[in-house]
Amino acid sequence: MIRNLVFFKLNDGLTRESPEVVEGFELVRNLERDIPEIRQWEVGWHAFDETPVSYDFALNSLFDDTAAFQRYFNHPAHLAAIAHWMDYATWVVVDMHV
């Protein structure tokens, strides 16, 4: 199985209430509905007061195998979410075998 962890940091001047952030969060949240290869999908905002090292929200997902993850990664809905977020956030990713 492949665990995919993504941590998003909003660009300066943006908040979770910014329209472009609300739209992007919904794009990410709805990927579970659009991509059948997703086995587990959790998306959420940072729960506590921010610190300089805090990220704003995270994605925790699970896939059966590398082939399923690759289909997810190249799915048009996922590529659209990436394209949207490129203007509004930076992120770090860890993909690991579990």
Q: Where are the domains of the chain?
A: 2-97
* Four-CA torsion 75, 67, 35, 59, nearest 10 degrees: -90
Q: Which of 50, 59, 61, 81 is nearest to 1 (CA)?
A: 61
Rounded mean pLDDT of the chain? 96
Question: Looking at residues 38-43, what average pLDDT do you find?
Answer: 98
pLDDT at 50 > cutoff 80: no
* The predicted structure's pLDDT at residue 64: 98
Q: How far is Cα 55 from Cα 35, in angstroms, rounded to an integer?
A: 25
CA neighbours closer than 13 Å in the CB half-sphere of residue 13: 3
Enter the CATH code of domain 2-97.
3.30.70.100
* The predicted structure's pLDDT at residue 55: 95
